[in-house]
Structure 1
Amino acid sequence: MDTFIADYAWIVWLVLILLFVTIEMMTLELTFLMIALGSLGGLVAGLLGAPWWLQLVIAALLALVLLLGIKPPLLRALKRGGDPTKSNVDALVGLGGSVVKSVEGAGGLVRLANGETWTARLSPTVPQHVIEPGERVVVIAIDGATAVVTPAERNAS
C-alpha cells in the first residue's frame, strides 16, 4: 500500500492544487492560495523522493508558514491602496440639500446636492418643528430609505 501511495501521490497533489486554486479564484482572500502553495511544496517533495508522510508534513508546515507569515502583510499591502472615497449611503452623510415638501417629525421630501430626492424626517436631536420648502438641510444619517436631516444653520454651529 505504501508503494501505491508513493507512486501516485503526485496525482493527488496536482488535484489538490487545482482544487485550491479554483476555490481561491472564487473567494479571493488568499487563504486557499497559501494552501495551494503548501500543496505545491508537498508535490515537489514527492518528486524529489520524499515518503508520503514527509510530503504531508512539508505541505502542512509550508501552508502554515505562508498563512501566518505571508498572508497578513500581503493583505495589508493590498488594502493600503484602496479607494478612500465614500460611496453609496456613506457618501450622503454630511451632504446638504433643500426641502421640497415640508419636513417634520413624521416625514417630508428633500432634494440633495447630488440631485437625488429622498424621503426625509427631522432628527430627534433637534427641537421638533416644521422645515418649510426651500429651507436648507444637512443629512446626518440614513435610516433605510429615509434621510435623517437637521436644519443647515443648526448643523453649522
Structure 2
Amino acid sequence: MDPLWWIGAGLVFVVIEILTLGFVLIMFAGGAFAAALASALGAPTWLQFVVFAAASVLLLFALRPWLLRRLKRRMPLEETNVAAQLGRSAMVVADVGPLGGRIKLSGEVWSARAARDGLVFPEGAEVQVVRIDGATAVVDAVARDSAPSTSTTHDSNPHS
C-alpha cells in the first residue's frame, strides 16, 4: 500500500480530532503515520495494518491518559449537559412530591420529583438537584433552607 494513503488517512484523523477534541482520533492518526513509515520501508500490506493497529492501541492506552491528566491540571473542564445541572438550585413552579411536580432549572421548566418519600416542596420553594433520572430532576431541600413540609397523602394527579 502506498505511504500516501496512510498519510492521507492520518491527516483526515487529525482534522476530525480538531473538531471533536477527544484525544482518540489523534491516536489513530499516529498509527496511520507509523503505518506510512512501515510502508515507506517496504513492509507488506498486512504488516502495515498490524503496525497501524499496534501503534494506535499503544498510543490510546499509554499517551492518551497522560495527555488528559495534563490537560485537566492546566485548566478545569467545565461540566455540560446533565452533569452541569447537578447541585444547582431550582424554583418549584408546581408542588413537587415523590410522584412528581415541576421546577424551573436554568431558565427551563423540568419535571421533578422529591428525592425522599414523604417530602413535598410547595410552589415557590427553592430546591437543589441531586440527580437526573431520564428527563426528571430529582430534588431535595437546599441546605440553608428549613426542612420541607412532610405529607402522608400523595396527590396522584400527574399534572401537578
Normalising to structure 2: TM-score of the pair?
0.62
In structure 1, the gaps of 5 or more residues are: 1-8, 47-51
Aligned residues: 137
Q: Counterpart of 2:86 in 1: which secondary structure?
A: coil
- 1:36 aligns to what? 32
**Contact kept? 2:100, 2:112, Cα under 8 Å:** yes
Q: Counterpart of 1:98 in 2: which secondary structure?
A: strand
Quote how far apart the aligned CAs of 1:89 are. Answer: 0.9
- 2:138 aligns to what? 148
- 2:77 aligns to what? 84
Distance in 2, Cα, partners of 1:60 & 1:127: 58
**Contact kept? 2:110, 2:135, Cα under 8 Å:** yes
Greater C-alpha Rg: 1
Distance in 1, Cα, partners of 2:122 & 2:146: 19
Q: Counterpart of 2:41 in 1: which secondary structure?
A: helix
Quote how far apart the aligned CAs of 1:119 are. Answer: 1.2
Distance in 1, Cα, partners of 2:46 & 2:94: 69
- 1:110 aligns to what? 103
User: Which of 53, 56, 63 is the equivalent residue of 1:74?
Assistant: 63
Distance in 1, Cα, partners of 2:132 & 2:37: 51
Question: Matched residues, percent identical?
Answer: 26
Change (3 A) 1:63 1:145: closer
If each structure's strand is expressed as a fraction of its own residues, which one has the higher value?
2
If each structure's helix is expressed as a fraction of its own residues, which one has the higher value?
1
Distance in 1, Cα, partners of 2:117 & 2:15: 53
- 1:136 aligns to what? 126
CA RMSD of aligned residues (A): 3.5
Change (3 A) 1:101 1:70: closer
Change (3 A) 1:156 1:78: farther
**Contact kept? 1:138, 1:149, Cα under 8 Å:** yes
In structure 2, the gaps of 5 or more residues are: 18-23, 148-160
Distance in 2, Cα, partners of 1:64 & 1:103: 53
Q: Which residue identity does 2:111 align to in structure 1?
A: T
Quote how far apart the aligned CAs of 1:148 are. Answer: 0.6
